[in-house]
Structure 1
């Protein structure tokens, strides 16, 4: 069910949500957090779809702020989505115009669930300083996505400069499987030190830099990236050791091949992670990701290429 509320206020929206629950039980209780999505009209539906999917694992209230292009008088159009139109959650879409565009914090405050954590997500261009953003200041976790930004390495450097505990980025979440497979391979004999690391992938993909930074920092060795045009995500990782290199290759974005000296070649299903999978993973934890913080603020400086 979709309820349009043109020229309204957030207090009126909140009262309508309460009435829906009291009258028909349309909105279930038991939400574990409030997810605030700060986006634009072009990215709104994709972001809501990903959040709806994640809400099946993490029941939450989703509040979307998508300012309109109108800069005239202050106004607010809202929309409530419940039931089948909101997955396992309730979705409130706010479209402020005029001067209300600059007051996102006061817009969302009446809609925040009491005594529940707040997560802010920017599915598009990341703010200069997520923790300094009006909504970011209220949030326990702040999720950006450097993949969706222009100038991805510059975005990572800027996020590192302003990093605060609670910040994370979906470019980091996209390498969870890579990190797990590499760690498992290194946990098997022979236990030789890695002397250098090479990470190959799409020229403009920030996950390439983050994986190289993580490996270089964890293994205390030089880390280099090789940038390739016409591919998606990370395509190959090589860990050089005296007795032979470990290589994990995924050229097609679907199946990975793990090659280790003296062992049979292994083929592993490893499709590119979806936005829904990454968002759902980040909503599983509300404590600061200290490893990501160290990689972002200290590890990237050691990556060459």
Structure 2
């Protein structure tokens, strides 16, 4: 590992090239560049997840930690790791302070691997508009997590309003095992589903997307049965046109599958590590149309997949403007002579 303190972007680029040479090209076959935008308190968690994902998708990992943006003097500290504690990837962890944190692209852009896709992941509260962050605009895929927002359901609505093809959310990724089991229940029957009920907490974004997915796929209006006894989605119940009931209920890391006329079955339904969820999203670099349809059904905003995929950067300074200095108090004992022009006349 190389540590650079109070450095510059050019020095980071040179140090990364030198470390690659000394490591003998450990990560020469990189599939993508993964940019991680994270708060300082979640850096280790993000690094652990990215390490798992990089094992399946060799990448250059660029971790951007923004801190103290109102600081008067900008500063950049960087750690460079090639084939070390962060797995088989090239990793640069950059801590940016002051106004530099608002222009992270000036350091990140020279570090992008040429001719490979770029994925940006916010392991923090999702941005209200991705176009306000150049690190999102430059990416082919953009990964957010509505569960980290103060109000996850409002965050999903914001994701729909701001959606562009290539966006996805880890709240959607977390229901992949649920969707697999529900879809598998109809491998042996063609019965039409007429009604659906999802039991979950009111503020669970995974349940909201599950309802949206069922609505988009089945053309029905699923209902949410609110529960306060469980912290996450508890069960999905489907009613078929032939009178059959299909119920999938989670209990710890297992699911009980019940169907009219059949014996109960126990199926695995574990909560995956964050790194596995991230790795799943890195498997595809095109737009996820099924997610767009589910998000559209969840929020009531249509035509998401018809929007242009290209984003245009919209600069927005998040720091409040500084107040001007207070004027001198009137009635001061000091006398002030009038300003005099070069020719001697007062102005």
TM-score range, shorter chain: over 0.9
SS at match of 1:67: strand
Cα–Cα, structure 1 residues 298 and 269, in superposed 2: closer, same or farther, change >3 Å?
closer
CA contact (8 A) 1:131 1:142 kept: no
CA contact (8 A) 2:9 2:106 kept: no
1:180 alignment counterpart = 180
Q: Does 1:47 find its partner at 2:43?
A: no
1:106 alignment counterpart = 106
SS at match of 1:76: strand
Bigger drift between 16-25 and 111-120 goes to 16-25
Q: Does 1:58 find its partner at 2:48?
A: no
* Structure 2 gaps, min length 5: 302-347
1:164 alignment counterpart = 164
1-structure distance, mates of 2:298, 2:96:
39
Q: Which 4+ residue blocks in structure 1 deviate beyond 4 angstroms?
A: none
Query: TM-score, length-normalised on structure 2?
Result: 0.83
1:123 Cα deviation after fit: 1.2
Deviations 1:173-228 (Å, cap 9, x if unpaired)?
A: 11111111111112322x22211111112332200000011101211112111232
2:16 alignment counterpart = 17
1:118 Cα deviation after fit: 0.4
Deviations 1:19-43 (Å, cap 9, x if unpaired)?
A: 1122342643111110000111011
CA contact (8 A) 2:118 2:138 kept: yes
1:133 Cα deviation after fit: 2.1
Deviations 1:106-144 (Å, cap 9, x if unpaired)?
A: 221011111111000001100012244211110000000
1:212 alignment counterpart = 211
1-structure distance, mates of 2:84, 2:113:
21
SS at match of 1:66: strand
Query: TM-score, length-normalised on structure 1?
Result: 0.94
2:316 alignment counterpart = none
SS at match of 1:195: strand
Deviations 1:41-62 (Å, cap 9, x if unpaired)?
A: 0111101110011100000011
1-structure distance, mates of 2:49, 2:109:
23
Matches within 5 A, 1:229-240: 229-240=228-239
Q: Does 1:138 find its partner at 2:102?
A: no
Q: Does 1:286 find its partner at 2:268?
A: no
Q: Does 1:118 find its partner at 2:124?
A: no
* Cα root mean square deviation, aligned: 1.6
2-structure distance, mates of 1:110, 1:11:
8
Q: Does 1:81 find its partner at 2:75?
A: no
Bigger drift between 274-283 and 66-75 goes to 66-75
1:81 Cα deviation after fit: 2.1
CA contact (8 A) 1:130 1:167 kept: no
Q: Does 1:253 find its partner at 2:252?
A: yes
2-structure distance, mates of 1:13, 1:27:
18
SS at match of 1:135: helix
1:230 Cα deviation after fit: 4.3
CA contact (8 A) 1:200 1:225 kept: yes
Bigger drift between 72-81 and 150-159 goes to 72-81
2-structure distance, mates of 1:260, 1:276:
33
* Structure 1 gaps, min length 5: none
2:321 alignment counterpart = none
